[in-house]
Structure 1
Amino acid sequence: MPVSPAMAEDLAAEVARLYEDAEAALLERLAKALEADIESPRWAELKLAAIGNLRAAVEDVANALQQDTDGAVRRALVGAYNRGRQAAVAELGALDIGRELVARETLPNAPAVDRLAASMTEDTRPVYARITRAVVDVYRRIVSGPAGNVLLGTMTRRQASQRALNQFAQRGITGFVDRSGRGWDMASYAEMAVRSVTARAAVEGHIDALAEIGIGLVMVSDAPLECPLCARWEGEVLTLNGTPGPQTILAKHAAPPEQPRRGLLRRRPPASPVVVHVAGSLIEARAAGLFHPNCRHSLAAYLPGVSTRPPHHPTPGTTYEDTQRQRAIERHIRTWKRRQAAAMDEHARRAAGAYVRKWQAVMRKHVAAHPDLRRKPAREQIGAAR
């Protein structure tokens, strides 16, 4: 059974839900804090005086989020690593090397899990450091910003505050930049990080199991609707520990020598070595983008002389651009759900809800027009990765 990042997606879902709930809670607390006493002529003065209360409430959400996330991430990593290892067992179970792998200790590799957990902690550290400051800063701007429009009589204080709050909900708590230089909002950044690290755990569990029994080559699947980052690696053989770059190697034939027939005294000699064309190393491929978040590819053990190249998966009528259109529609749905969570009154809540339904209808139409696409409701929730 090949291993792929999708194998651990459901394990990352628990962590993603924690961030979804936290982002919704922060937006709701901010909206309620602004709405209180909004008709009072002393509203701005009261709001500024209440900053300490808001700060304490936001810190409570952030601390609870970090505490809950630490345990959920650890559970997800152990589960993902074990799934990757079990995939190797299932893949090779019918062979002698597979039976050897089954007999080995199947506890997760503690150093590997610890390393991945530390990586996740480091990647999400900016999230917790920024939550309180970001919410309090936008609160201050909203309290002081609408004054001019209100004095001019162009809008009420409620309308001005809701507009500013909508702008905040539109972009989320921003300021997180990944290693590629892309900007993310808080929940999307954390959800992307946990999905990436659980996917890595599944792949590492798989390749660690293969390395234990001396398998040093793997093969990348051919996935439908592949992105440009992955296309060059499709169907290619990679080394687990070899040097980077294309190369041709001579590998031992993986099939066991044929057993002697009755009446024959000698076994046939083992098969001749196999010439294998290797596209590069797994580390090189991953650094170039293979197994990025939402990657559809999988990885399987490559047995020289036994494994065959994967078949190509044609997708007539559907393109990679169609998948990106689906991602864009998901972003619109999430944006309006955040606006709904940040609504200060029922009118604003209903207006945002109408746009949520509008974009959900667009999604249904888009998926119906492209049979190779599948709708993923989890990606339409607040906090889902972009």
Structure 2
Amino acid sequence: MADVRRFSDAEINRLVKFYEQVEREILDRLNRALLRGNQTEYLEQMKKNIEAILQQLREGNRTWCTEAIPRVYTEGLKNADAMLKDAGVTLKAGFGAIHQQAAQVLAENAFQRLEDVAQVIGRQVNDIYRELALENVRGTVVGYDTWKQTARRYREQLAERGVTGFKDRTGRMWNMRTYTEMVARTTTMEAHLQGTANRLVEQGHDLVKVSTHLGACELCQPWQGKILSITGKTKGYPTLEEAKAAGLFHPNCRHAYGLYIDLDKEIKD
């Protein structure tokens, strides 16, 4: 049974390195602006510079999603092909229109999740701009530089935590790097597993067996070694979607699944 991470780690690392570079550039622009936070024109230029960086980020996201996700999906197909070959099944399938469409949908879903990063950064930059602009006005009224305290607070936060504020579906907060890695790992795992599942169903096989390993977490432990129905059409087995809903294949999950043949219950063509 293939280890999903073996195919996806290179793609994940490529995206994470790109994001690390983007974060360094954004932090550099922010810190420069915070040192000159009483100059409105400098703050406005900071906003424009970061907007340009975010546009590059979006373009990089699109490139990564359209390249990496289909590649990992294809590895999922190959994984299923190897399982079927080992089971003595003669294959008559390639990377047809159905698989192309599935890979495109997965790539678009990944892009939308990464788009959240650009939106969060954009909101944070706007918050910094508005608060410093307000402090500049307040300082003019009261007669001293209140903006310096605000700028110092932001600099300390950025130095300690980097760019933060990314929330996943469970409400957990992440910084920019860890959130990006989590999204990349989740979406590549999904692409690989979906490619495997789609190929198996395409060839008339609906059952898979979940892998096992030591140290499985509480979410995954109940599902280790379980037989699942991919489509839900094979009665007597829990479905793949039920297992996912219960927490199997969470971010950074090490589990995969392999072909399982029950001659009495397999779907017939």
Q: 2:173 aligns with which of 180, 183, 196?
A: 183
Q: Which amino acid aligns with 2:229?
A: T
Identify the range of structure 1 (7-16 vs 17-26) with the bigger mean alpha-carbon deviation.
7-16
Residues 44 and 55 of structure 1, relative CA distance in 2, 3 Å threshold: closer
Q: Which amino acid aligns with 2:33?
A: A
Structure 1: tracts of 5 or more residues without a match: 36-42, 249-277, 306-386
Cα deviation, 1:107-151, whole Å, max 9, x if unaligned, reads 571211121122223323332223233124235656849x8xxx7
TM-score by length of 2: 0.82
Cα deviation, 1:307-360, whole Å, max 9, x if unaligned, reads xxxxxxxxxxxxxxxxxxxxxxxxxxxxxxxxxxxxxxxxxxxxxxxxxxxxxx
Quick check: 2:65–2:107 contact (8 Å CA) kept in 1?
yes
2:123 alignment partner, SS class? helix
Map residues 53-132 of structure 1 onto 2, 5 A cutoff.
Answer: 53-97=45-89, 100-101=90-91, 103-106=92-95, 109-132=99-122
Q: Give, in angstroms, the shift of residue 162 of structure 1.
A: 5.3
Identify the range of structure 1 (176-185 vs 136-145) with the bigger mean alpha-carbon deviation.
136-145
Quick check: 1:54–1:136 contact (8 Å CA) kept in 2?
no
Quick check: 1:3–1:299 contact (8 Å CA) kept in 2?
no
What CA distance in whole angstroms lies between the structure 2 residues aligned with 1:62 and 1:6?
Answer: 30
Q: Which amino acid aligns with 1:132?
A: G
TM-score by length of 1: 0.59
Q: Give, in angstroms, the shift of residue 168 of structure 1.
A: 2.7
Q: Which amino acid aligns with 1:295?
A: C
What CA distance in whole angstroms lies between the structure 1 residues aligned with 2:261 and 2:189?
Answer: 24
Runs ≥4 residues deviating over 4 A: 139-145, 159-163
What CA distance in whole angstroms lies between the structure 1 residues aligned with 2:52 and 2:37?
Answer: 24
Residues 93 and 51 of structure 1, relative CA distance in 2, 3 Å threshold: same
What CA distance in whole angstroms lies between the structure 2 residues aligned with 1:140 and 1:281?
Answer: 50
Quick check: 2:58–2:115 contact (8 Å CA) kept in 1?
no
Q: Which residue of 2 aligns with 1:297?
A: 255
Q: Which residue of 2 aligns with 1:201?
A: 191
Quick check: 1:3–1:300 contact (8 Å CA) kept in 2?
no
Map residues 233-272 of structure 1 onto 2, 5 A cutoff.
Answer: 233-242=223-232, 248=236
Percent identity over the alignment? 31
Q: Give, in angstroms, the shift of residue 32 of structure 1.
A: 2.6
Residues 133 and 106 of structure 1, relative CA distance in 2, 3 Å threshold: closer
Structure richer in helix, relative to its length: 2
Q: Which amino acid aligns with 1:13?
A: N
2:223 alignment partner, SS class? coil
- Specify the structure having the higher radius of gyration (Cα): 1
